[in-house]
């Protein structure tokens, strides 16, 4: 027992110890040789060992996911250098890879694509600013592909691609697994999660695998409900999040050369106020915010082995509905000034109800995006020195965004109509304070292919490309007394259309210096869809549309297995040129709409390191690091609504840390009888960032976070304890520039979760 306690104390701080201090642990199991797990991935659309794929990829096997206690992608980010997730609420935000992200990720009006692609098996789930919080339970692996993936994964994979690969049904075994998690957050409340899986074989050629989950994370930020002067009440732990859902996968293999898979996925979340405040723990709002987010996705995939290769046909339908009531407290003063000026007219001359002042201002948003995709591809069997992939892709996305803003106390509809009619001498009357609606449709067509040649056992050359064409249409309507009183625009509508065509090449040369050492060089290109500015009359200085972003990547890398496959070291250096950056350039009159534009070029250059070492089969160390410089190449001029600001060349790209590293360890030992003890930890560090271009001089502090995990394991059950953010660091995710805190007038930040301590019980049936 004394020995176990000593080992626990040592392993709990492994992530912060130099390697020289680990000798004792290594010595204890030196006779038990360890080897790095070989993970087979499908990032190239064919099965290959990860170390044989000539590109930079982070891969988490099912074992890695369990050891980390991963619940979703957010809990994996600290394990990767050069990858950052910026969220202000569950299901929102975006992923930055190597400094490339969506500059306009918080823009609700645009129908633009995402910078980082998200897939579950064959289903694309990307949407700008809407990175889904998918469950990682019963997932075979997660692949994170760094750099543009424009050839095989197309639009939405400008910075990279994240792929969740689900476990497939087993035809010969009835199986089940369950997991229960309880935890408590410092300054917040209790959290829980329940996950369950059942695998049902129908025959020796068909089966079903179903996963269900339910999760509740307590809030850790209180919300002052205030008009800026008086605090009416304080809501405890107001930023709570609840989610539930699951997926069901049917698979049949009626013949040796045919497989049919059908998947349905549902992910539903209810979120409270955003994690926003001038300090960790409390923020100010004029209303209690709410958000309901539901994702439904369906996929049918047919795989057929032909005489020349594997044919895959995949059809998907996704439906994302988000409805949220968002605080607009920063406009209370402006609204009250307008109400005060109009009150003599409304009450004195017209005799209609009109409040003295508004105590709150809010905006209710409805967002609905439906997408249908079809991909056909033929992949050679890989048995010869010449390998190839050919395919076609089609996608149609229809998006509806509706926003209704109002003040509380509410001005009656009849009063708005009376005032606007009086001001226009009866020319028209407007009954809505602000009601806007936009509908957009995007159609994409693409042909893609890759061909590679093994000129020898050592040297391979690959070339590929994707021809892409996109057509976009949009229309919008508005009925807004706020906008009319601000700029004189009556109710109306507008529409626009545009198209884009691109070719994305890729060339990779790789050379195996030995069976365990491979070097490669890559030139590749990716793109992010363009879009339309729906509310054109409200943004008169903006263009009706904006072009796609493009990213050209030049990269050198090396992958190695060392010390008898007990260690691996992968390194890469890269320089990327990012053209036609999409950025909000104009705020609409009366708060209606935001216009985007293409504002020039930027570059990202850096170094990635990913290393693992298993001195024994029980002990593993991992380390990843990224050094990055991502900066504007051109001055960016932002319009009057942003204060006529010129952001100088050399300014860092928002949301990007110059240095990130992650150091982790895991150690297993005999805990007596059939029990195995487990100790693990991870230390992650990220430097400061800027949060957006208009406020490029403001810095959001970096952070250093330590997570610990420990427990006992048996064949059929496992029990773990964990401490996330063990040092209880205050983690600022980014700064909010909608306005200062309405009560304290201090800078607002979005804050990460404080120290959380919990238990995790798993059982396999």
Segment 398-429, tens digit of pLDDT: 999 898 988 888 889 999 999 999 999 888 89
How far is residue 429 from each of residues 405, 407, 486, 589, measured CA to CA in Å? Answer: 18, 19, 15, 19
* Of the candidate ranges 34-38, 336-340, 467-471, the one whose mean pLDDT is the lowest: 34-38
Q: Between these two residues, 540 and 372, which has the higher pLDDT value?
A: 372
Q: Which residue has the higher pLDDT, 539 or 139?
A: 139
Is residue 277 within 8 A of residue 283, CB to CB? The reply is yes
* Average pLDDT across the chain, whole number: 89
Report d(CA 509, CA 462) in Å as an integer: 6
Checking if the pLDDT of 9 tops 70, the result is no
Say if CB 328 and CB 361 are below 8 A apart.
yes
Q: 464 or 133, which is more confident?
A: 464
Fold of 2-764: Maltoporin; Chain A (2.40.170)
| pLDDT reported for residue 692 | 85
Classify residue 394 as exposed, middle or buried by CB count within 10 Å of its CB (0-12, 13-18, 19+).
middle
| CA–CA gap between residue 720 and residue 717 (Å, rounded) | 10
Residue 14 sits at φ, ψ, to 5 deg, of -55, -40
CB count within 10 Å of CB 221 equals 27
CB 56 within 8 A of CB 100: no
Q: Is the pLDDT of residue 41 over 70?
A: yes
In this prediction, residue 105 has a pLDDT band, given cuts at 50, 70 and 90, of low
675 has a pLDDT exceeding 80? yes
Q: Collapsing DSSP states into helix, strand and coil, what is residue 688?
A: coil
Residue 106 has pLDDT above 80, yes or no: no
How many residues in total does the chain contain?
Answer: 765
For the segment 579-625, what is each residue's pLDDT rounded down to a tens digit?
A: 999 888 888 877 777 888 898 899 999 999 999 999 998 999 999 99
**Which residues neighbour 417 within 8 Å (Cβ) at sequence distance 6 or greater?**
429, 430, 431
**Model confidence pLDDT, tens digit, residues 737-765:** 778 899 999 999 999 999 999 999 999 98
Rg of the chain taking only CA atoms, in angstroms = 27
Rounded Cα distance between 660 and 591, Å, is: 37
Half-sphere exposure of 669 (CA within 13 A, CB side): 21
Distance CA 262, CA 301 (A): 6
SS3 652: strand
Distance between CA 33 and CA 615 in Å, rounded? 7
Q: Closest by alpha carbon to 103, among 80, 81, 129, 127? A: 129
The encoded tokens of residue 449 equal 């292919």
E strand or H helix that includes residue 339: helix 332-343
* pTM of this structure: 0.90
pLDDT at 15 over 60: no
Taking residues 155-170, report their average pLDDT: 91
Residue 504's nearest CA partner among 551, 441, 546 is 551
**Structural tokens at position 33:** 């040789």
> What's residue 398's pLDDT?
92
Helix (H/G/I), strand (E/B), else coil: 200: strand
Lowest model confidence (mean pLDDT) among 89-93, 277-281, 310-314, 356-360:
89-93
For residue 13, the model assigns a pLDDT of 46
Buried b (16+ CB within 10 A) or exposed e, 14-37: bbebeeeebeebeebbeeeebebe
Look at residue 542 in the predicted model and tell me its pLDDT.
Answer: 84
Instruction: Supply the pLDDT for residue 537.
Output: 84
Instruction: Measure the CA dihedral 89/292/401/155, to 10°.
Output: 60
Predicted confidence (pLDDT) per residue in 458-495, tens digit: 999 999 999 999 999 999 999 988 888 877 788 999 88
Going by the DSSP 8-state scheme, the letter that residue 345 receives in this structure is: I
Please determine, for residue 29, whether its predicted confidence score (pLDDT) is greater than 50. Answer: no
pLDDT at 124 over 80: yes
User: Average of pLDDT values for 714-738?
Assistant: 92
Name the nearest CA neighbour of 218 among 191, 246, 180: 191
């Amino acid at each position: 027992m004394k020995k176990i306690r000593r080992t626990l104390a040592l392993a709990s701080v492994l992530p912060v110890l130099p390697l020289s201090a680990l000798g004792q642990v290594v010595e204890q199991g030196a006779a038990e040789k360890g080897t790095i797990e070989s993970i087979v991935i499908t990032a190239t659309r064919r099965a290959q060992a990860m170390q044989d794929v000539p590109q930079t990829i982070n891969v988490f096997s099912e074992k890695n996911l369990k050891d980390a206690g991963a619940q979703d992608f957010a809990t994996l980010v600290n394990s990767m250098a050069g990858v950052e997730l910026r969220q202000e609420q569950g299901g929102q935000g975006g992923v930055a890879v190597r400094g490339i992200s969506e500059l306009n990720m918080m823009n609700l009006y645009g129908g633009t694509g995402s910078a980082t692609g998200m897939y579950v098996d064959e289903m694309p789930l990307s949407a700008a600013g809407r990175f889904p919080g998918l469950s990682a339970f019963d997932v075979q692996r997660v692949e994170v592909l760094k750099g543009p993936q424009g050839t095989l994964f197309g639009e939405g994979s400008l910075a990279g691609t994240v792929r969740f690969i689900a476990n497939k049904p087993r035809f010969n075994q009835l199986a089940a697994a369950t997991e229960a998690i309880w935890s408590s957050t410092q300054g917040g409340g209790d959290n829980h999660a329940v996950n369950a899986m059942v695998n049902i074989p129908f025959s020796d050629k068909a089966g079903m695998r179903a996963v269900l989950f339910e999760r509740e994370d307590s809030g850790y930020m209180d919300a002052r409900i205030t008009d800026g002067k008086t605090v009416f009440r304080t809501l405890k732990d107001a930023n709570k999040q609840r989610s539930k859902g699951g997926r069901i996968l049917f698979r049949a293999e009626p013949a040796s050369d045919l497989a049919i898979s059908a998947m349905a996925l549902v992910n539903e979340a209810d979120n409270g106020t955003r994690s926003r405040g001038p300090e960790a723990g409390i923020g100010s709002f004029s209303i209690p915010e709410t958000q309901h987010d539901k994702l439904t996705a369906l996929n049918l995939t047919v795989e057929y082995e032909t005489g020349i290769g594997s044919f895959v046909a995949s059809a998907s339908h996704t439906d994302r509905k988000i409805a949220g009531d968002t605080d607009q407290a920063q406009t209370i003063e402006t609204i009250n000034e307008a109400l005060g000026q109009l009150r003599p007219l409304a009450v004195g001359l017209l005799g209609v109800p009109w409040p003295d002042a508004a105590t709150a201002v809010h905006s209710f948003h409805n967002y609905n995006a439906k997408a249908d995709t079809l991909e056909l591809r033929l992949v050679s069997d890989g048995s010869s020195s010449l390998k190839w992939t050919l395919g076609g892709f089609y996608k149609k996305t229809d998006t509806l965004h509706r926003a209704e803003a109002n003040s509380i106390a509410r001005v009656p509809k009849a009063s708005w109509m009376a005032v606007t009619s009086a001001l226009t001498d009866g020319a028209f009357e407007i009954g809505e304070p602000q009601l806007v609606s936009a509908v957009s449709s995007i159609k994409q067509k693409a042909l893609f292919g890759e061909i590679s040649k093994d000129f020898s056992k050592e040297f391979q050359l690959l070339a590929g490309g994707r021809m892409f064409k996109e057509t976009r249409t949009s229309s919008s309507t508005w009925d807004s007394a706020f906008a009319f009183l601000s700029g004189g625009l009556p109710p109306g509508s507008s529409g626009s259309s545009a198209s884009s065509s691109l070719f994305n090449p890729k060339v990779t040369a790789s050379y195996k210096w030995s069976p365990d050492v491979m070097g490669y060089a890559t030139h590749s290109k990716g793109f992010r869809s363009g879009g339309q500015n729906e509310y054109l009359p409200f943004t008169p200085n903006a263009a009706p549309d904006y072009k796609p972003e493009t990213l050209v990547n030049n990269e050198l890398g090396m992958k190695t297995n060392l010390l008898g496959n007990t260690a691996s070291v992968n390194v890469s250096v890269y320089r990327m040129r990012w053209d036609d950056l999409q950025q909000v350039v104009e705020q609409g009159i009366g708060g209606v709409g935001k216009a985007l534009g293409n504002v020039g070029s930027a570059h990202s250059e850096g170094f990635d390191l990913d290393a693992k070492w298993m001195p024994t089969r029980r002990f593993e160390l991992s380390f990843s690091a990224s050094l990055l410089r991502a900066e504007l190449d051109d001055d960016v001029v932002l319009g009057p609504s942003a204060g006529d600001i010129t952001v100088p060349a050399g300014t860092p790209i928002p949301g990007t840390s110059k240095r990130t590293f992650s150091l982790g360890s895991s150690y297993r030992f005999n805990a007596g009888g059939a029990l195995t003890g487990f100790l693990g930890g991870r230390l992650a560090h990220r430097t400061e960032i800027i949060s957006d271009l208009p406020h490029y001089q403001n810095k959001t502090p970096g952070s250093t976070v330590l997570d610990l995990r420990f427990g006992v394991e048996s064949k059929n059950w496992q029990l773990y304890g964990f401490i996330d953010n063990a040092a209880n660091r205050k983690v600022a995710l980014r700064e909010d520039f909608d306005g200062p805190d309405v009560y304290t007038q201090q800078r607002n930040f979005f804050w990460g979760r404080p120290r959380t301590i919990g238990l995790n019980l798993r059982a396999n049936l």
